[in-house]
Amino acid sequence: MTGCGASADNLRPMFSLERMRLENGLRVVLAPDRHATAVAVAVYYDVGFRSEPEGRSGFAHLFEHLMFEGSATLEKMEHARLVQGNGGTFNGSTNSDYTRYFETLPSNALELGLFLESDRMRSVRLSEETLENQIAVVKEEIRVNVLNRPYGGFPWIPLPQVMFRTFNNAHNGYGSFEDLEAATVDAAADFFQQYYAPGNAVLAVVGDFDVDPTAALVEKHFASIPAGVVPRLPDLSEPRPSSERRVEMVDALAPRPALAIGYRVPDPIQDLDEYLAVVVLASLLAGGGEASRLYQRLVKVDRTVSHMSGYVGTFGNPFEVRDPTMLQIVAYLQTDDVDEVLRAVDAEVEALVDDLLPDEVERVTQAMRSSYLADVDEFTERAMFLAVLEQQRSSPELLNTLPDKAAAVSPSAVRRAAERWLLPDKRAVLELQPGGTP
């Protein structure tokens, strides 16, 4: 049987988009889609854990928790009750370069979603009691996700500490217990003033609505929020390593060794074309399971690795981070010889430079296109993606063109990306040694 590769013509996402900007600086993307009776509302603030200064590790995430604890008009837990009591879901999360809040609601509750996000942007209710309560909750979050489990936070917490030298890029975004306990109500109030101005935010709305009345609702709820001052973005720049940076850590709870490798990559915003070549490269090497080159070599032939993955960006989405970021390869080892694994990785990168053919790039980008379409089928995913594309790139229309741009990456561009960026003497290597019962 031969494959009949799908032509790109029918497979281009064609979502209609409208952009607007309110006088207070809030940027808005509206993307109507009437095929389901649902709406998604997402607000991105341009502050992430890489914005935190020394001594304030974990503050952006702690503050995200506080933004659910009430406002001048809403009581503690009322936000959740209003969303869920009208049949919706909500959440928030803090990433390296943004903090986001989002709701998915039946479309009859669209205005409720807009009201809730405008209410949160307008004011936050802070007290010693809620601060103390949420510090305790965040500590339990860190215990469950990091401290009490094997491989907790691996590699997103320790690998940046190997790769990067500046506090902004290297520190643990969950924060130390010491810094969390030192948080004050005044500091939280300052943080809101500093980072939560409308001009530092993007609102994206996707789903079952018409543009004009929804634009009017956005004006109604958001236009009266005072403009405030938009902060400057932190300077995150730092040079590529001049030699391999290698660290061994012991995970007392882990039963087996693991390995994380990080390579610096082109600027995701300024050098999009070259960055896309690296994203395709990551997928080709390690993103496609059985079909990827490193899987074949390490898991099937050498059998030094049992499970592995590879991706670009802090948490796996390459289009939600600013420079500097990494291509990461994570592997769970069936050998104690880390150097053998590293040599095999280098050999596979060299082989790819020598023998990469167009067919391989075509099938990998076809797989990427299909999973991309599945991701943006979901309104909340689409809203979040639009918001971050507007926030970091001022180009929400990339939603419709990214799959074609990835498909346009040539084999020679992938080869060049491998030669330029996957250099052994410029990478970070983190070896996780088990301290647990084997």
Site for another protein in 396-435 (CB under 8 A): none
CA 146 to chain centre: 18
Q: Please, are residues 331 and 341 in contact by the beta-carbon 8 Å criterion?
A: yes
- Segment (H or E) for 231: none
Q: Please, are residues 247 and 157 in contact by the beta-carbon 8 Å criterion?
A: no
Q: How far is CA 194 from CA 47, 165, 257, in A?
A: 10, 25, 43
Task: Determine, following the binding rule CB under 8 A, whether residue 235 of this chain makes contact with another protein.
Answer: no
Shortest distance, position 136 Cβ to another protein, whole Å = 3
Measure the CA–CA gap between 43 and 96, rounded to whole angstroms: 16
Shortest distance, position 148 Cβ to another protein, whole Å = 4
Task: Determine, following the binding rule CB under 8 A, whether residue 303 of this chain makes contact with another protein.
Answer: yes
Per-residue binder mask for another protein (CB under 8 A), 188-217, x = binder: ------------------------------
Write the DSSP string, 256-296.
Answer: S-EEEEEEE---TTTTHHHHHHHHHHHIIIIISGGGSHHII
From 191, 195, 263, 379, residue interacting with another protein (rule: CB under 8 A): 379
Closer CB to another protein, 1 or 243, in the complex: 1
Closer CB to another protein, 125 or 416, in the complex: 125
Task: Determine, following the binding rule CB under 8 A, whether residue 293 of this chain makes contact with another protein.
Answer: no
Closer CB to another protein, 163 or 376, in the complex: 376
Q: SS3 for 184?
A: coil
From 46, 119, 274, 348, residue interacting with another protein (rule: CB under 8 A): 119
Closer CB to another protein, 141 or 244, in the complex: 141
Shortest distance, position 236 Cβ to another protein, whole Å = 29
Task: Determine, following the binding rule CB under 8 A, whether residue 112 of this chain makes contact with another protein.
Answer: yes
The structure tokens 């996402």 sit at: 13
76: Cβ contacts below 8 Å, ≥ 6 apart: 69, 70, 125, 130
Show contacts with another protein in window 250-279 (CB under 8 A): 252-256
Closer CB to another protein, 77 or 229, in the complex: 77
Task: Determine, following the binding rule CB under 8 A, whether residue 223 of this chain makes contact with another protein.
Answer: no
Per-residue binder mask for another protein (CB under 8 A), 357-376, x = binder: -----xxx-xx-xxx-xx-x
Q: How far is CA 314 from CA 3, 217, 260, 365, in A?
A: 34, 35, 13, 21
Could you tell me the two tokens for 203? 């609102």
Show contacts with another protein in window 32-71 (CB under 8 A): 35-38
